[in-house]
Amino acid sequence: MTMPQMTRKLLNLAQDNRGKGSGLRAEATGTDTTTLYVYDVIDAFWGVSAADFARELAAITTPKVRLRINSPGGDVFEARAMMTAIREHPAEFTASIDALAASAAAVLTLGCDSTEIAEGGFYMIHRAWTFAMGNAADLTATATLLSKIDDVMTDDFVAKSGRSAEEIKAWLEAETWFNAAEAIDAGFVDRMTIVPDKAAAKAQANVFNLSAFANVPKALTERPREMDTSARDRAVARLALYDRMAA
């Protein structure tokens, strides 16, 4: 038997984006603030793990932490463990979505005291995924677990946004992508940060392979057209020939 493609989405997301992000790092950005970057898939094997995140966080002693995010998501359990580490830390946390907070990365923002998003950034939520093997009882148990995860996510997104559970569930079911203004309007994000180059956030998000998702905005799938330099190259070669002849 072959595993249906739908059940491989989570694995594909992690594998397809291995090495595309810049991982996890922390740096002091002032006397009272540490900036912590999560610029990768959230995954124990192919990206940023909860264990590494918790270890990095435990070393931070500043009263404020800015959590900068550019991630297509990944393992929701890893993200929830990271949320727990944030909530248990005494610092005040600001989640800064520099480009993309999708799937488990959107869940990660919920552990912070406030959330901001760069102009041109995106935020996405959807129902939980997994892949499973076994008999009917095994698969039924997996389906039950996924429903419970959806319920927990719904409660968290309701608490953050103030929206109704029915509206959150509809957004999760539809795999809903929000641009910066829409994420603020929905209540998931508190404010927008203006960047000098509006395309910068889009360019950072385009680093990732988002083909595992169904409704990715066109802005995140477009690639810049390569400039045709053949005419310029021919002109440069011709000038070089003239120079040699003149000499």
Domain that holds residue 236: 5-246
| Maximum mean pLDDT: which of 4-13, 38-47, 223-232 | 38-47
**What pairs with residue 122 in β-bridges?**
100, 179
Overall size of the chain counted in residues: 247
How far is Cα of residue 235 from the mean position of the Cα atoms in its chain? 44
Which CATH number do you get for residue 42? Answer: 3.90.226.10
Identity at 13, one-letter amino acid code: L
Confidence of residue 218 (pLDDT cuts 50, 70, 90): confident
Three-state DSSP class for 238? Answer: helix
Single pTM value for the model: 0.78
Tell me the pLDDT tens digit for each residue of 97-119.
999 999 999 999 999 999 999 99
H or E element in which residue 204 lies: helix 199-205
Tell me the pLDDT tens digit for each residue of 176-196.
999 999 999 999 999 999 876
**Pairing between strand 122-125 and 176-179?**
antiparallel
Asked if pLDDT for residue 226 goes beyond 50, the answer is: no
On the 0-12 / 13-18 / 19+ scale of CB atoms within 10 A, 243 is exposed
Instruction: Please answer whether residues 215 and 175 qualify as being in contact, where contact means their C-beta atoms are separated by less than 8 angstroms.
Output: yes
Q: What is the mean pLDDT of residues 221-239?
A: 55
On the 0-12 / 13-18 / 19+ scale of CB atoms within 10 A, 130 is middle
Nearest to 34 by CA among 26, 22, 25, 23: 26
Structural domains in the chain (count) = 1
On the 0-12 / 13-18 / 19+ scale of CB atoms within 10 A, 224 is exposed
Query: pLDDT above 90 covers what percent of the chain?
Result: 51
Confidence of residue 96 (pLDDT cuts 50, 70, 90): very high
